[in-house]
Amino acid sequence: MTASLLLLLAVSLALSGGNGAWITVASVIAAGAAGLRLPDIDAPLGLDHRSALTHCILPLLIALLDRRTWPVAAGLGFGIGFHLAADLFPASMRGYATIKLPLWGSIGVLPSYLWIAANAAANLTGGVLLLDRIATRRTAIVVLVAIAVLGAAYLLRTPGGWYAFVMLAGLGWLILR
């Protein structure tokens, strides 16, 4: 499924009116899967690759506008966070790999690294904080396990993903200690 279909599924589930744990789990996971590819929607939208509008926390913030779509916001936070973590490790941070502002162009190498790192951290943190607010402990554990598997599968087959996987696994280990 494409990112847009997964996002549509996640929003549909969240707006269905049900508030069961399975709807939360399905919404977060579907939105997380959509978020893995969502930042690259910049090209079909006519934006430059690595547009600041899609490689940021904006999609999560938009999903926060309606409390019913908070599970979607959490999933987007996880998915986009994993995507941006992999983007921190391009073959070379120049040209195609740098962040672009609309009507401005590239923000440069160091600002691009800072932008991507800050937005990856903000998305992942937002996902965790939202999950804490919308799910019981048992539901949150199920979601986190599923998101971890989804994120690992994505990172281990994406350029730069191995480095991001090791970095995130190390941070997770430190947090759990």
Percent of the chain with pLDDT over 90: 55
Mean pLDDT of the chain: 88
Cβ-Cβ contacts under 8 Å for 48 (sequence gap 6 or more): 42, 100, 105
**3-class SS at 98?**
coil
Residue 91 has pLDDT above 80, yes or no: no
Predicted local confidence at residue 76, as pLDDT: 96
Q: Each residue of 21-76: pLDDT tens digit?
A: 888 888 999 999 999 999 999 888 888 888 899 999 999 999 999 998 999 999 99
**Cα(112)–Cα(126) distance, rounded to whole angstroms?**
21
pLDDT greater than 90 at residue 111: yes
pTM, rounded to two decimals: 0.91
* CB neighbourhood size of 167 (10 A): 15
- Percent of the chain as helix, strand, coil, to the nearest 5: 70, 5, 25
Of all residues in the chain, what percent carry a pLDDT higher than 70? 94
pLDDT at 18: 67
User: What is the C-alpha to C-alpha distance for residues 154 and 159, in angstroms, rounded to an integer?
Assistant: 10
Distance CA 92, CA 166 (A): 19
Residue 121's pLDDT band, with cuts at 50, 70 and 90, is very high
Q: Which of 167, 132, 147, 128 is nearest to 36 (CA)?
A: 147
- The pLDDT score that the predictor gives to residue 4 is 67
The stretch 1-17 carries a mean pLDDT of: 72
Residue linked to tokens 């191995």: 162
pLDDT at 92: 75
- 105: confidence class by pLDDT, cuts 50, 70, 90: confident
Residues 139-158 have pLDDT tens digits of 999 999 999 999 999 999 98
**What is the distance of C-alpha 87 from the center of its chain?**
12
